[in-house]
Structure 1
């Protein structure tokens, strides 16, 4: 079996599946040229714990963890099977790396099911979630990704789901894509240049080195999953960038695929 890529997704607003002004079709296009995984291990910005926890749910519920949106959104179900054996594998790999992790039966939050619904609408790929640690730094999440790297050799795709820029206080929900704050591009250009250079040290120190880092991420839970996807990638990864534009003035939607050797 070929080694699978690892992926980072900017999952956008919960309304991504029902708002025609948002780039939902592009997620399907991305999935169509990725190798089909036998299972997915998802690290979403919307499940945070003090220490890593893997979900062993066999039939994870669809969690509607948002408020004030159209009724149609709350009626969406994503009945993908769980992947408890992948969750247990992840816990074992983390233990080998000296990272203690637990298990519980957790459902799929919108950071997981929204992009999965668009990419794999038949809900026929098992999905397990692994929590992030919002109180821990980028290096911690990179180390988690490094520990999970062997999963890619067994048909498991490691996916981090967040948002490459995420400052809701700076957002303007009536803004057009052309109204984007120019500082968004300055941040993402820096980040993508460092990804292309495979400059992991600079990326892990992004909060000090990247332009407008604190403005783009007042708290960094939506960026932390990219470091786990990066950690899970090969040292000599190839980088594919799917840029979908900037919405609500400050929320860039960019997806990254870290390819590996066959």
Structure 2
């Protein structure tokens, strides 16, 4: 999916919501455990319910790998189902990969040749040669970890070098030489609030994938105020607050209601920034 197509979807749906498919076999409604493939049954229902209100889905691979081969089969079925039934959705494999070049090449092959997702999250710690193999696929995206939403992000990402530059700022600045804003996004956690202004000083045009809204306490209002650019430039992820909003047989209906509420709030912010006119 191209940048232009993603922006068009955001405007058409009046939403920049990404639904995180962090599907935990221990948290899904118990009646689904009778299904032949409980993870896929849960995901299918969530996707069908929330697709009108979001522009992206982000399965986190850890939740599928934790159940072995069966979980990976559920993941592949989920991706195939989204691609077939909701082809306008941007699919992110939240895998946080990144290794020496030939290993990264195999990871890239797995996600882009085999699973055919639109994007994969990548850790930048090993540098340019660990990221470049993901960038050889046209219209596929690298989403580079820059400033994450967890408490431990301060351990390294907020440290300064001898020139006073924060490490996450170095990641943003240096990686822009590897790919432009048509192929690279950055992870910036919603919990950092006004720090989005500093991110935008270094990366004004890139899309940002923003976790941390909802269960982690990040403010959607602050993200929109400080992080939105002229094209929106945001994919705000919500996982637990939507997919686990209810644990009964009505779980999909409640998930739809929660996703719609987020979408309606996003419409206000898009209109305020004159990205859409409602």
| TM-score normalized with structure 2 length | 0.32
Of structures 1 and 2, the one with the larger relative CO (CA 8 A, separation 6+) is 1
- Structure with max Cα Rg: 2
